[in-house]
């Protein structure tokens, strides 16, 4: 009979690790004689870790870094295995249960591959996918499909998905120009709320304005989250260049009025894209 120490030694000296070894390592870390920190964790305590690892994997994709992506995908997988082990200890489900459910879902939602349904284009595939998803989730109304959007998504992604699903139900602008006109309308309403000085009304109108911007981005076939991220990164680059120019002149940003900083900002824009 193999002892616990022998199993640990085998895991330590394994010539090549795979998924079975990963599952065993996580089980060992959570065992009675495992890691004190790992044993204390719950779904809630490592919730943020899962989000951060997913974002770091996305950053690796954006940076087009294969080594970084390999590492970050491993970190994402670790989080999946960690959560699975917590549930396995409670007797609720295992990693195999997750794989089984996922594979069944993929087979069901790809009848054009595993069945007799014809789908020659990506558009037809997505249409079938949405219909099957709605049926399997027992969503009988358009409202239920909107309520099914994950509420933990970042606000821009959440708003864009809501708008897209509302559009499938027929409640949408015909084109980007019509959506854009609502940006002007919401801007006017925000300005009126600011004149009144009601913080509650200002907050509401600001939200409406942002939502209208998301709708316009969607009709322009842009991802609002990605678009805003790119603008924020551009702001960071130009800010850094502005500070460099100010420092090169022997000055500090905090001592300068906004009008002078605007002049430096204009120079920074000329220097950077």
Tokens linked to 196: 């009144």
How confident is the model over 191-209, as pLDDT tens digits? 999 999 999 999 999 999 9
How confident is the model over 127-174, as pLDDT tens digits? 888 788 778 888 888 898 898 899 988 999 999 999 999 998 899 999
Q: Give the domain ranges of the chain.
A: 4-107, 227-271
Report how far apart, in Å, the C-alpha atoms of 253 and of each of 231, 244, 271 are.
22, 10, 18
Q: What is the mean pLDDT of residues 56-65?
A: 94
Element (H, E) at 185: helix 176-196
Residue 138's pLDDT is 83
Q: Is 2's pLDDT higher than 70?
A: no
Looking at per-residue pLDDT, the higher value among 85 and 142 belongs to 85
- Top CATH class of 4-107 equals mainly alpha
Residue 131's pLDDT is 82
CB 268 within 8 A of CB 238: yes
Q: Is 1's pLDDT higher than 80?
A: no
Q: What is the mean pLDDT of residues 97-118?
A: 92
Q: Is 88's pLDDT higher than 80?
A: yes
Alpha-carbon gap, residue 215 to 202, rounded angstroms: 20
Alpha-carbon gap, residue 273 to 267, rounded angstroms: 11
How confident is the model over 236-252, as pLDDT tens digits? 999 999 999 999 999 99
Give the residue among 114, 89, 116 at the shortest CA–CA distance from 103: 114
Alpha-carbon gap, residue 94 to 77, rounded angstroms: 14
DSSP letters for 119-179: --SHHHHHHHHHHHHHHHTT--SHHHHHHTS-TTS-HHHHHHHHHHHHHHTT-S-SSHHHH
């Amino acid at each position: 009979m193999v002892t616990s120490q022998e199993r640990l030694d085998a895991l330590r000296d394994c010539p090549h690790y795979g998924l079975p070894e990963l599952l065993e390592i996580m089980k060992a870390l959570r065992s009675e004689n495992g890691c004190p920190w790992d044993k204390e964790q719950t779904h809630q305590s490592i919730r943020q870790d899962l989000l951060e690892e997913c974002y770091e994997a996305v950053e690796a994709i954006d940076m087009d870094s294969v080594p970084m992506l390999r590492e970050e995908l491993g970190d994402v997988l670790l989080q999946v295995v960690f959560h699975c082990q917590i549930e396995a200890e409670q007797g609720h489900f295992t990693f195999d249960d997750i794989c089984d459910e996922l594979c069944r879902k993929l087979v069901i939602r790809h009848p054009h591959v595993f069945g007799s349904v014809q789908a020659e284009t990506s558009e037809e595939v997505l249409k079938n996918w949405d219909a099957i998803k709605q049926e399997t989730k027992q969503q009988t109304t358009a409202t239920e499909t909107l309520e099914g959007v994950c509420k933990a998504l970042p606000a821009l992604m959440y708003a864009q998905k809501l708008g897209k699903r509302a559009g499938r139900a027929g409640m949408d602008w015909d084109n980007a120009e019509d959506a854009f006109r609502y940006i002007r309308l919401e801007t006017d309403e925000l300005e009126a709320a600011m004149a009144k000085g009601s913080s509650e009304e200002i907050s509401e109108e600001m939200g409406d304005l942002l939502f209208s911007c998301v709708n316009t981005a969607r009709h322009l076939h842009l991802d609002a989250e990605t678009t805003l991220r790119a603008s924020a990164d551009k702001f960071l680059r130009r800010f850094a260049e502005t500070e460099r120019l100010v420092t090169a002149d022997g000055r500090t940003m905090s001592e300068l009025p906004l009008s002078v900083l605007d002049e430096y900002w204009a120079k920074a824009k000329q220097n950077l894209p």
